[in-house]
Amino acid sequence: MNPIAKRPAAVLVVEDEPLVRLYVSDILGQSGFEVIDAATGDEALTHLSDGNLCAIVSDVSMPGGVNGFELARHVRESFPNTGVILVSGVLEPKDHLPGGVRFITKPVRAATLLRLVREVADPRFTLPDPGLAQTHF
């Protein structure tokens, strides 16, 4: 049996704005995902080595040495099964997105976020029942 499938599906939320990070974390948590959060790309890198993430939702512009595009490239190279969704209210991707990385603009709608997380999530994880999703956030 695959040991990853026994773990709760964990999503890493990377966002420097505390209220946005809380909002996204609440959407995912109330929908049955385990949520790990980070305020910077540098902090996010410390959570990757565990290999227990089915997906990452990250802002593009963050303080520190690692922005969302760089984080996405690192994840795709080192953890190719981990899904990545980049979010921005300002920057639009040009040729910066590695293969398989999805992009959405702020403000983030709960239904759109949940649909994308399910689409990109590492298929080796058992995802929470979609019926757990709340309709209003």
Each domain of the chain, given as residue ranges in start order, spans 8-122
**Coil vs helix vs strand at 9:** coil
Residues 6+ apart with CB under 8 A from 20: 59, 106
pLDDT given for residue 129 in this prediction: 83
pLDDT given for residue 1 in this prediction: 47
DSSP 106: S
Q: Are 58 and 86 in contact (CB under 8 A)?
A: yes
pLDDT given for residue 137 in this prediction: 35
DSSP 124: T
DSSP 38: E
Q: Does domain 8-122 bear CATH number 3.40.50.2300?
A: yes
Side-chain-facing half-sphere of 83: CA atoms under 13 Å = 24
Six token digits for residue 89: 């209210």
pLDDT given for residue 85 in this prediction: 97
Six token digits for residue 69: 């595009």
Q: How far is CA 99 from the centre of its chain?
A: 15
Low-confidence stretches of the chain (pLDDT < 70) are: 1-7, 91, 93-96, 132-137
pTM above 0.85, yes or no: yes
Q: What angle do CA 117, 15, 75 make, to 5 degrees?
A: 55
Length of the chain counted residue by residue:
137
DSSP 4: G
Q: Radius of gyration of the chain from Cα atoms?
A: 14
